[in-house]
């Protein structure tokens, strides 16, 4: 029987999420930024009661002598971003305070607080605007990587960008000092006085509190001449490192969503009686997205290097707040925010903290008088064929056993994570064992006591998350600390009929990043030995049959896209040539849970030309450059663009069975 009193995983506030617990147990070994006391933790916090944030801050200072700072516009809400020191989550007096005020708290990658002498809270609907240039009714927000604001497809006139603001969340970013045409040094960019990290760049007018400096249009003008813009110099002088290469994820997504040329003009004809092999029309669009203002949130470079998505929570939450700060209550009617990122882990039943926060945003900004209607669009994910999901239902015996292989590749420089989820009522008799290729093992029933050296691999004790229980598995980098090869995961004591799901966190690098990281994945070795030869002769909807395997393709939806909120949309991908779902496009349904769940993606949008011609063509980091981006990251901006110009077209190939709905949602939407 496990002694919880000597268990460092359990001897923590109940509200702490799994990765915050892991960081504490391993003494923040995997978070190098915390080695200096000048850094603070960055957390996304869900309070038990709206309006209790200020009381929480006071209690932490009064009863525990811990400094806590809230993100903007948090005092009267249930969700907030929070900065605190290491002592804020590790000293004993804080535990009772966390559990008294907080329902759930999750760790994002820690960042260094910027040195700001005065703090001004940015409030929704109160953004300063120019009286003579009122914004349009549609505002487009993107949270991504790479914003080519000076490219022709994002200009309004010869040297005026449609981008109203860029917030670079990189903790190492600083404003730029640059000479104007008279040689006077001016400042380009400013530290946002409300979010306290990163640098923002705005189009005129700058706020009254801003230092004398250059706005985005003035910056473009300094790099313009002879009827053209020096885009290379424009981005290099501003130290926009993510725009120095030919292509970026954000540039492509931004062009598909808000460029002057819609997807229908980029692909061949798609109407009845046409041949999609015919040339595209290349016609500029007249839809609202082709001329709407854009607000861009640039994710931190450290975050982009971490493919697990553990960092997403607080950065996305603050990013949405930043986009909404540009809302003008007199003119803005509709806000569309696209987030072409996601995770493979999490509860997958709508109860993750970030999903709950997204639901709160769209519930608050619902189109009532004085507030625009907010819609958030997410990709379904690309993990259908990634072997990252295991599902098993307990058999008729009193304590079923399920086991499979977790394959970790050699020379991997990053830590690999996996999560195992079960309903809380079924988890009491369950034990998780992780066995290394050499035979060494770790078990949830024998967690090392507090103070023991952190091992190269970890299995947490059970962590209660709402009505669910999860176990977090972590293996250090195989490049130096841990063994590579086939690690065996054994789940024993599964009650009859209990549903168990396991998810491997993505670790292969994002586009434009070279970390040397390699993905880990699951292997059902027993099924491969007994059935794989027969299955490899059966081809079903573009992929080999996997019937009978523990490895499941269903239930692989983006881990922050599983709740059934009407104004949070999820887009999968299909192949233009035949209308078939792209093989990588993740499918539902979500895990059972207490909320209204998403059966699958909402619709499919074109993401590939043919089986051979993968990806969708879109803009790169310079005017005129294009490349093909593969994945549902290109489906969500297409859906977002169509949402700016309702109603949506009638879908085709509409599924009628639950299994097909889980894969295809409401059917295919043609390019528009």
8 Å CB contact between 576 and 384: no
Which stretches of 439-555 are assigned E, i.e. beta strand? 441-443, 457-459, 463-465, 468-475, 485-494, 499-504, 521-523, 539-540, 543-544
Tokens of 602: 């909402």
For 341-352, how does the pLDDT look when each residue is reduced to its tens digit (9 = 90+)?
A: 999 999 999 999
CB atoms within 10 A of CB 149: 27
Alpha carbon dihedral 61, 63, 64, 65, in 10-degree steps, equals 40
pTM recorded for the entire structure: 0.94
Q: 130 pLDDT exceeds 50?
A: no
CA dist 663 and 570 (Å) reads 12
Which stretches of 113-202 are assigned E, i.e. beta strand? 138-144, 163-168, 176-179, 185-188, 199-202
439: left (phi over 0), alpha (psi -120 to 50) or beta: left
DSSP summary character for residue 13: -
pLDDT for the residue numbered 500: 97
Q: 302 pLDDT exceeds 60?
A: yes
| pLDDT band for position 126 (cuts 50, 70, 90) | very low
Residue with tokens 């056993």: 401
Mean pLDDT of the chain: 90
3-state SS, residue 24: helix
CA dist 483 and 476 (Å) reads 9
| pLDDT band for position 542 (cuts 50, 70, 90) | low
Number of alpha helices (DSSP H) and beta strands (DSSP E) in the chain: 15, 32
| pLDDT band for position 205 (cuts 50, 70, 90) | confident
For 212-259, how does the pLDDT look when each residue is reduced to its tens digit (9 = 90+)?
A: 789 999 999 999 998 899 999 999 999 999 999 999 999 999 999 999
Tell me the domains of the chain and their CATH numbers.
31-112 (3.30.70), 389-544 (2.60.120)
CA dist 350 and 348 (Å) reads 6
8 Å CB contact between 639 and 651: no
pLDDT for the residue numbered 47: 96
């Amino acid at each position: 029987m496990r002694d919880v009193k000597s268990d460092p995983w359990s001897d923590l506030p109940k509200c702490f999420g799994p990765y915050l617990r892991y960081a504490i147990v391993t003494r923040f070994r995997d978070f190098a930024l915390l080695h200096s006391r000048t850094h603070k933790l960055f957390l996304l916090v869900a309070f038990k009661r709206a309006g209790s944030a200020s009381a929480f801050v006071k209690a932490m200072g009064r009863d525990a002598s811990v400094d806590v700072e809230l993100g903007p516009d948090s005092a009267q809400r249930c969700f907030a971003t929070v900065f605190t020191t290491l002592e804020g989550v590790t000293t004993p007096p804080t535990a009772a305070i966390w559990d008294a005020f907080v329902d759930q708290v999750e760790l994002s990658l820690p960042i260094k607080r910027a040195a700001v002498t005065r703090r001004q809270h940015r409030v929704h609907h109160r953004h300063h605007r120019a009286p003579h240039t009122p914004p349009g009714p549609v505002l487009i927000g993107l949270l991504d990587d790479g914003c080519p604001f000076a490219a022709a497809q994002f200009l309004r006139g010869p040297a005026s960008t449609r981008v109203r603001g860029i917030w670079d969340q990189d903790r190492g970013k600083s404003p730029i000092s640059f000479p104007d045409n008279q040689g006077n040094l001016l400042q380009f960019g400013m530290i946002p006085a409300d979010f306290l990290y990163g640098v923002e760049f705005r189009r005129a007018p700058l706020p009254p509190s801003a230092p004398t400096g250059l706005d985005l249009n003035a910056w473009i003008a300094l790099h313009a001449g002879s009827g053209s813009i020096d885009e290379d110099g424009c981005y290099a002088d501003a130290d926009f490192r993510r725009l120095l290469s030919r292509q970026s994820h954000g540039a492509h997504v931004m062009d598909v969503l808000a460029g002057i040329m819609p997807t229908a003009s980029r692909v061949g004809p798609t109407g009845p009686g046409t041949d999609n092999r015919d040339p595209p029309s290349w016609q500029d669009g007249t839809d609202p997205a082709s001329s709407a203002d854009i607000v861009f949130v640039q994710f931190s470079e450290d975050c982009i290097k971490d493919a697990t998505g553990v960092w997403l929570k607080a950065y996305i939450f603050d990013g949405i707040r930043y986009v909404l700060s540009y809302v003008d209550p007199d003119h803005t009617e509709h806000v569309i925010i696209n987030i072409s990122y996601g995770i493979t882990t999490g509860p997958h039943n709508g109860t993750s903290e970030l999903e709950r926060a997204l639901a709160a945003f769209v519930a608050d900004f619902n189109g009532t008088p004085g507030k625009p209607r907010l819609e958030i669009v997410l990709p379904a994910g690309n993990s259908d064929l990634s072997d990252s999901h295991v599902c098993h239902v307990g058999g008729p015996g009193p304590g079923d056993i399920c086991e499979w292989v977790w394959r970790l590749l050699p020379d991997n420089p990053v830590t690999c994570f996996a999560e195992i989820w079960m309903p809380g009522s079924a988890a009491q008799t369950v034990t998780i064992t992780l066995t290394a290729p050499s035979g060494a093992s770790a078990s949830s029933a024998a967690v090392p006591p507090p103070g023991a050296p952190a091992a190269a691999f970890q299995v947490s004790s059970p962590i209660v998350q709402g009505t669910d229980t999860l176990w977090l598995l972590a293996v250090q980098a195989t490049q130096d600390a841990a063994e590579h090869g086939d690690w065996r995961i054994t789940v024993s004591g599964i009650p009859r009929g209990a549903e168990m799901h396991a998810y491997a966190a993505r670790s292969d690098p994002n586009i434009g990043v070279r970390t040397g990281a390699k993905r880990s994945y699951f292997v059902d070795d027993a099924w491969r030995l007994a059935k794989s030869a027969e299955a490899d002769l059966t081809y079903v909807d573009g992929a080999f049959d996997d019937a009978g395997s523990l490895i499941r393709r269903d239930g692989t939806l983006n881990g922050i896209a599983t709740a059934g909120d009407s104004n949070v949309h999820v887009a999968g991908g299909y192949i233009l040539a035949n209308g078939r779902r792209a093989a990588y496009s993740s499918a539902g349904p979500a895990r059972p849970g207490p909320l209204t769940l998403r059966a699958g993606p909402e619709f499919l949008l074109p993401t590939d030309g043919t089986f051979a011609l993968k990806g969708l063509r879109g803009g790169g980091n310079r005017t005129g450059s294009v490349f093909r981006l593969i994945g549902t990251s290109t489906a969500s901006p297409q859906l977002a663009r169509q949402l700016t110009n309702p109603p949506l077209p009638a879908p085709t190939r509409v599924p009628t069975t639950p299994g097909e709905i889980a894969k295809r949602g409401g059917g295919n939407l043609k390019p528009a």
